[in-house]
Amino acid sequence: MTSSSYFRYPHVHGDLVTFVAEDDVWIAPLEGGRAWRVSSLQLPARNPRFTPDGKRLVWTVVQGTAPEVVSADVDGGNYRQLTYFGHSTTRVKGFTASGSVLVTSAFRQAESRHTYAYSVPVDGGWAEELPFGPVESVAFGPEVGDERPVVVGSVLSREPAWWKRYRGGTAGKLWIDADGNGEFERLLPDLDGNLADPMWVDGRIAFLSDHEGYGNLYSVLPGGKDLRRHTDHEDFYVRHAASDGKRVVFESAGELWILDSLDSEAVRLDIALGSASQSRRPALLKTSKHLGAVVPDATGTASAVESHGTIHWLRHKDGPSRIVEATPGVRGRLPRPLGDGRIAYVADHGGVEALHIRDIVATVPHAALPVGKEHAGKGHGTAAAPAGAVQLPGEAGDGATALPQPVPAAGAAVLAGAGTFVPADDQQADTQQADVAPEDTVSAADAQSGADAPGISIPLPSRASALESSPDGRRVAVGTSFGEVYVADTRTGDFVLVASIGEGTIGELAWSPDSRWLVWSEPVTSFGSRSRLRLADMANPGTSPVDVTDGRFGDKSPAFTPDGKYLAFLSNRSFDPVYDGHSFDLSFPSPIKPYLVALAAGTPSPFGPAVAPDGGEGSGTDTSGGQESGETPEVAVDPEGLAHRVITVPVPQGNYTSLGTADGALLWLDWALAGVTGDGKASQDDKEARPSLVRFDIARRKKATLVESLDSYRLSGDRSTIVLISDKQVTAVPADAKADEESGKLVKVDLGRIRVMMDPLSVWGQAFDEAWRLQRDFFWAEDMAGQDWESIHKRYRPLVERLGSHDDLVDLLWEMHGELGTSHAYVRPAPVTENGSQGQGRLGADIAHTPAGWEITRILAGESSDPLATSPLTRPGVDAKAGDILLAIDGVPLSASVTPAMQLVGAAGRAVELTLLNGPAHAGAAGTQRRVAVVPVKDEERLRYQEWVAGNRRTVREASAGTFGYLHIPDMMANGWAQLHRDLDTETALDGLIVDVRRNRGGHTSQLVAELIGRKVTGWSMPRGEKPRTYPHHAPRGPVIVLADEFAGSDGDIITQVSKLRGIGPVIGTRTWGGVVGIDNRFALADGTGVTQPRYANWFSGGVGWSVENYGVDPDIEVAYPPHAYAAGRDPQLEFGIGALKEMIQELPTDRPPAREGYRRLRPAPLPARSQAR
Can you give the three-state secondary structure of 552-610, one letter per residue? CCEEEEEEECCCCCEEEEEECCCCCCEECCCCCCEECCCCEEEEEEECCCCCCCCCCCC
Q: Single out the residue of 1147, 1139, 977 nearest to residue 1068, CA to CA.
A: 1139
902/961 same-domain check: no
What is the dihedral sign for C-alpha 619, 621, 625, 631? positive
The residue from 937, 969, 994 where one domain ends is 937
Burial class (CB in 10 A: 0-12, 13-18, 19+), 97: middle
954/1062 same-domain check: yes
pLDDT tens-digit profile of 1103-1135? 999 999 999 999 999 999 999 999 999 999 999
pLDDT tens-digit profile of 76-92? 899 999 999 999 999 99
pLDDT at position 348: 96
Bridge partners (DSSP) of residue 478 are: 467, 486
How many C-beta atoms lie closer than 10 Å to residue 1106's C-beta? 13
Contact 572, 591 (CB under 8 A): yes
924/962 same-domain check: no
When mean pLDDT is compared across 184-193, 295-304, 401-410, the lowest value belongs to 401-410
DSSP string, 423-460: PPPHHHHH---TTPPPSSPPPTTT---GGG---EEPPS
When mean pLDDT is compared across 215-224, 365-374, 1038-1047, the lowest value belongs to 365-374
Measure the CA–CA gap between 755 and 751, rounded to whole angstroms.
9
- Assign residue 23 a region: left if phi > 0, alpha if psi is -120 to 50, beta otherwise? left
933/909 same-domain check: yes
The residue from 937, 953, 979 where one domain ends is 937
Distance of CA 1137 to the CA centre of its chain: 35
The string over 746-756, giving b where at least 16 C-beta atoms fall within 10 Å of a residue's C-beta and e elsewhere, is ebebbbebbeb
| C-alpha distances in Å from residue 694, one per residue of 190, 257, 710, 737 | 64, 62, 11, 10
| C-alpha distances in Å from residue 1145, one per residue of 423, 904, 960, 968, 990 | 80, 51, 11, 21, 12
With a CB cutoff of 8 Å and minimum separation 6, the contacts of 1160 are: none
Contact 212, 157 (CB under 8 A): no
Query: Is 373's pLDDT higher than 50?
Result: no
How many C-beta atoms lie closer than 10 Å to residue 1054's C-beta? 28
What range does the domain containing 955 cover? 942-1075+1110-1147
Measure the CA–CA gap between 811 and 328, rounded to whole angstroms.
22
Dihedrals phi, psi of 441, to nearest 5 degrees: -90, 135
| C-alpha distances in Å from residue 416, one per residue of 34, 427, 442 | 49, 20, 16
- 893, part of any domain: yes
Q: What is the mean pLDDT of residues 682-709?
A: 92
Residue 687 banded pLDDT, cuts 50, 70, 90: confident
Q: What is the mean pLDDT of residues 216-244?
A: 98
pLDDT at position 372: 44
- 1131, part of any domain: yes
How many C-beta atoms lie closer than 10 Å to residue 66's C-beta? 24
Dihedrals phi, psi of 83, to nearest 5 degrees: -120, 160
pLDDT tens-digit profile of 979-1002? 999 999 999 999 999 999 999 999
972/1120 same-domain check: yes
969/1008 same-domain check: yes
- 371, part of any domain: no
Amino acid, single-letter form, for residue 618:
G
Residue 542 banded pLDDT, cuts 50, 70, 90: confident
8-state DSSP, 627: -
Identify the helix (H) or strand (E) that includes residue 295.
Answer: strand 291-296
pLDDT at position 369: 58
When mean pLDDT is compared across 446-450, 534-538, 960-964, 1029-1033, the lowest value belongs to 446-450
Q: Single out the residue of 697, 702, 693 nearest to residue 731, CA to CA.
A: 693
Contact 645, 605 (CB under 8 A): no
- 475, part of any domain: no
* CATH number of the domain within which 996 lies: 3.90.226.10
Residue 688 banded pLDDT, cuts 50, 70, 90: confident
Q: Single out the residue of 1016, 1083, 1093, 1065 nearest to residue 824, CA to CA.
A: 1093
Residue 437 banded pLDDT, cuts 50, 70, 90: very low
pLDDT at position 422: 34
Contact 4, 277 (CB under 8 A): yes
978/1066 same-domain check: yes
Measure the CA–CA gap between 374 and 377, rounded to whole angstroms.
9
Identify the helix (H) or strand (E) that includes residue 323.
Answer: strand 321-325
Distance of CA 858 to the CA centre of its chain: 35
Dihedrals phi, psi of 818, to nearest 5 degrees: -60, -25
Amino acid, single-letter form, for residue 871:
S
pLDDT at position 342: 95
Tally of domains within the chain = 2
Residue 420 banded pLDDT, cuts 50, 70, 90: very low
Measure the CA–CA gap between 157 and 1075, rounded to whole angstroms.
11
Dihedrals phi, psi of 986, to nearest 5 degrees: -65, -45
With a CB cutoff of 8 Å and minimum separation 6, the contacts of 376 are: none
Reported pTM: 0.92
N- to C-terminal Cα separation, the chain: 125
Measure the CA–CA gap between 1081 and 610, rounded to whole angstroms.
49
Tell me the residue ranges of DSSP E strands in 997-1071. Answer: 1019-1021, 1029-1031, 1040-1044, 1067-1069
Amino acid, single-letter form, for residue 1046:
E
Residue 783 banded pLDDT, cuts 50, 70, 90: very high
- 900, part of any domain: yes
pLDDT tens-digit profile of 822-874? 999 999 999 999 988 899 999 999 999 999 999 999 999 999 999 999 999 99
Query: Is 445's pLDDT higher than 80?
Result: no
- 57, part of any domain: no
- 411, part of any domain: no
pLDDT at position 614: 67
Give me the chain's average pLDDT, please. 91
* CATH number of the domain within which 921 lies: 2.30.42.10
Measure the CA–CA gap between 431 and 337, rounded to whole angstroms.
13
Positions annotated as catalytic residues are 824, 1050, 1109
Dihedrals phi, psi of 377, to nearest 5 degrees: 75, 0
pLDDT at position 339: 86
Amino acid, single-letter form, for residue 856:
I
- 3-state SS track over 269-290: CCEECCCCCCCCCCEECCCCCC
949/888 same-domain check: no
When mean pLDDT is compared across 91-100, 263-272, 384-393, 747-756, the lowest value belongs to 384-393
Dihedrals phi, psi of 996, to nearest 5 degrees: -105, 110
pLDDT at position 365: 64
Q: How many helices (H) and strands (E) does the chain have?
A: 12, 77
Residue 673 banded pLDDT, cuts 50, 70, 90: very high
Measure the CA–CA gap between 83 and 902, rounded to whole angstroms.
8
pLDDT tens-digit profile of 921-959? 999 999 999 999 999 999 999 999 999 999 999 999 999
Identify the helix (H) or strand (E) that includes residue 153.
Answer: strand 150-153
The string over 759-797, giving b where at least 16 C-beta atoms fall within 10 Å of a residue's C-beta and e elsewhere, is bbbbbbbbbbbbbbbbbbbbbbeeebbebebeebbeebe
With a CB cutoff of 8 Å and minimum separation 6, the contacts of 806 are: 279, 760, 764, 829, 1087
965/881 same-domain check: no
pLDDT at position 459: 85
973/1057 same-domain check: yes
pLDDT at position 452: 46
When mean pLDDT is compared across 293-307, 316-330, 394-408, the lowest value belongs to 394-408
- 334, part of any domain: no
- 3-state SS track over 673-736: CCCCCCCCCCCCCCCCCCCEEEEEECCCCEEEEEECCCCEEEECCCCCEEEEEECCEEEEEECC
pLDDT at position 801: 97
Contact 202, 219 (CB under 8 A): no
Measure the CA–CA gap between 625 and 922, rounded to whole angstroms.
74
1009/1142 same-domain check: yes
pLDDT tens-digit profile of 562-597? 999 999 999 999 999 999 999 999 999 999 999 999
pLDDT tens-digit profile of 115-153? 999 999 999 999 999 999 999 999 999 988 788 999 999
When mean pLDDT is compared across 55-64, 452-461, 484-493, 542-551, the lowest value belongs to 452-461
The residue from 892, 908, 937 where one domain ends is 937
Measure the CA–CA gap between 15 and 35, rounded to whole angstroms.
13
1000/1060 same-domain check: yes
